[in-house]
Amino acid sequence: MVLRKKEEIAEIKKRLLAHYPSAKTELIYNNLYELVVDVILSAQCTDKRVNIITPALFKKYPNIEALAKANVEDVKELIKTCSFFNNKAKNLVAMAKTVVEKYDGKIPEDEKELIKLPGIGRKTANVIMIEYFKKNLMAVDTHVFRVAHRLGLSDAKTRDATEKDLVEAFKTDLHSIHQAMVLFGRYICKAKNPKCEECFLYELCNSEDKKILNRDNPVS
């Protein structure tokens, strides 16, 4: 359920887009193949860690065909510092094999088809479509979930329901808003010790986590 008035939502949207005018993922990639691998690895793992892992992985497996022929144990070794590396290694190789065998080596550019690939769920597919194709979609990770609730944009208990509330609230520019909310949640509206003194949405926040500050000069 969206808890904000239309004018408040419009102001939140305006400020997010103004503060992050060209927001994009912090994952490093050169093509769709690398992005898909990055996003699969990033589940419950930081982008910083993924960016440390992937250079060696992409050097050995530079494309989907190479990864499809990979030994799972070798992939595990290359990504072992990533969370849940055992399952992720299996999913990466299975994903690549599926793309080669069922899609002639071309990664699907459709959300519904992406979800059919091993290791790719709804959120993962949405992140890929948002980042690579700039689709008007919303993906809810831990940062977006936290920000949405702190700003009163949703009171839903699940990520899927929160996604629905955010789509209903913002309607357009969803790909840009998603990226902005991720960065906002990662660096300002953090889970612990949020930087309320730096927050450009401070007076629009009524979260219990909000710090009481002397804001003599409100954010304009």
Predicted TM-score (pTM) of the model is 0.88
Q: Does residue 155 carry a catalytic annotation?
A: no
Instruction: Identify the active-site residue in 123, 135, 209, 211.
Output: 123
Residue pLDDT tens, the chain, 220 long: 667 899 999 999 999 999 999 889 999 999 999 999 999 999 999 999 999 999 999 999 999 999 999 999 999 999 999 999 999 999 999 999 999 999 999 999 999 999 999 999 999 999 999 999 999 999 999 999 999 999 999 999 999 999 999 999 999 999 999 999 999 999 999 999 999 999 999 999 988 888 887 655 554 4
Whether residue 127 is found in the same domain as residue 41: yes
Q: Which of 47, 141, 173, 192 is catalytic?
A: 141
Q: Are residues 38 and 124 in the same domain?
A: yes
- Domain containing 191 — which CATH number? 1.10.1670.10
Of 115, 133, 151, which one is at a domain's C-terminal end? Answer: 133
123 a catalytic residue: yes
- Exposed/middle/buried for residue 133 (C-beta within 10 Å: 0-12, 13-18, 19+): middle
Whether 92 is in a domain gets the answer yes
* Burial state string for 11-23 with b = 16 or more CB within 10 A and e = fewer than 16: ebbebbeeebeeb
Using the 3D structure, point to which of 77, 102, 133 is the last residue of a domain.
133
Number of domains in the chain: 2
Residue 39 to residue 210: CA distance in whole angstroms: 31
Q: Are residues 115 and 193 in the same domain?
A: no
| Residue 179, C-beta contacts closer than 8 angstroms, at least 6 positions apart | 20, 23, 24, 25, 130, 131
